Chains A and B, each alone.
Chain A
Amino acid sequence: MRFFIVLLLLLAPASGHCLSSAFESSVFDPGHLTPRDSVLKVKVGDPVPDFMLPAISGGQVGPSQFRGKKNLVISFIPAAWTPVCSDQWPGYNIARPLFDAHDAVLFGISVDSRATLYSWTRAMKDLWFPVLSDFWPHGQVAQSFGVLRSDGMAERAIIIVDKRGIIRFLHVSDINVRPELGMIIQALDAITP
């Protein structure tokens, strides 16, 4: 018998993750990681670091291609085939209407190789946004933002860049916690006329 006591108090927020059955036994659980392990090199108001990265769909993709045309949301995730990450981008996949409503494109970036990212994202079905590999030189783009951890993974970070190429929002999460979608949309609200 499982007992619960009713509490009329708010408990302190708990961290955790909830893995979809979609990934079955393929996901590696690294355990609880140090929440943050990097120092930002950029701040709100800075120009976004220029970069071009290989996309799993082919070709090179970077922020300059969308300058003057789209707002940009950059989602750094630590690694493919890990619990929180595997349950992050699939949510953004169905949230495309929200990004479109804010004239925004999304980049998903990790330090994994293109081959690894291809395999991983296939398990999510088709993603509408570019998935970019910051594999070589290893984590160079993450490093340029200051979100490369000492173990070589990227932080879990959301960076929003306006059409002029200026960083307008920065959020580096506890690596063990997925950033909330409402926060991202609220930040886009703030830069969309």
Chain B
Amino acid sequence: MKWIIPVVLLVMVLPAMAMDPVQTGEKLLGVSLETPESRETQAYLGLSAKPAFTMDDIDADVVIVEIFSMYCPHCQREAPMINQFHDLLLTRKTSKPSIKLMGIGAGNSSFEVDYFRKTYKVAFPLFADGDFVVHKALGEVRTPYFIALSREPDRSWKVVLSRPGGIESPEAFLSTILELARGGK
């Protein structure tokens, strides 16, 4: 299944209780997802062919996660702009910091995520979170919701952006991400 990956190997939050949305400055450790079958997706994320991967396995300096849903009118409307943003990432003149984009379909099955991907011609990896596991772990956010993670010197991932809603423009969003990833330097 190209670019569509169900969330099978799951995560447990300690303590296991409902939480507020993930906040800027927090660190995320140990999130695990099933490795996508697609070699193209594996290559994009820099993954090896083992059954599951964690954020640590992703070959990137910054990972942007969009929490979306096939059923979300705003996500539907925003999809073309997010695609433009992905295109912008792919055509950047500089490769540093390397930035990867992925989507998690909250409450969406593989079928639904795949349908969204085909309908809007999404070229970046999308994961199905049919049981809301990742969604709950991230604080049961509304859709669309963007989280940007920047790799720290100790190889952990720090949340540098956590916000609801869409993006203003691909260029503005990229500029924001770069500024946050560099710590405002």
Q: Is the Cβ of A7 less than 8 Å from the Cβ of B9?
A: yes
Q: Is the Cβ of B76 less than 8 Å from the Cβ of A181?
A: no
Q: Is the Cβ of A2 less than 8 Å from the Cβ of B27?
A: yes
Interface of A is mostly: loop
Return the contact of A2 from the options B28, B74, B132, B135 (Cβ within 8 A): B28
Q: What is the number of residues of chain B that contact chain A, defined by CB distance less than 8 Å?
A: 50
| Closest CB in chain B relative to A17 CB, distance in Å | 7
- B143: Cβ under 8 A from any A Cβ: yes
- A16: Cβ under 8 A from any B Cβ: yes
Q: Is the Cβ of A4 less than 8 Å from the Cβ of B30?
A: yes
Q: For the complex, what is the distance from the CA of A180 to the CA of B112, rounded to whole Å?
A: 8
Chain B residue with minimal CB distance to A6? B32
Q: What is the number of residues of chain A that contact chain B, defined by CB distance less than 8 Å?
A: 36
Q: Is the Cβ of B26 less than 8 Å from the Cβ of A1?
A: yes
Q: Is the Cβ of A124 less than 8 Å from the Cβ of B73?
A: yes
| A22 cross-chain contacts in B, Cβ below 8 A | 72-74
- B119: Cβ under 8 A from any A Cβ: yes
A7 in contact with B73 given A2-B28, A18-B135 (CB within 8 Å): no
- B89: Cβ under 8 A from any A Cβ: no
Q: Is the Cβ of B131 less than 8 Å from the Cβ of A6?
A: no
Q: Is the Cβ of A4 less than 8 Å from the Cβ of B142?
A: no
Q: Is the Cβ of B76 less than 8 Å from the Cβ of A87?
A: no
Q: For the complex, what is the distance from the CA of A16 to the CA of B31, rounded to whole Å?
A: 20
Q: Is the Cβ of B137 less than 8 Å from the Cβ of A4?
A: yes
A interface residues (Cβ-Cβ under 8 A, vs B): 1-11, 13-22, 87-88, 90-91, 94-95, 98, 123-125, 178, 180-182, 185
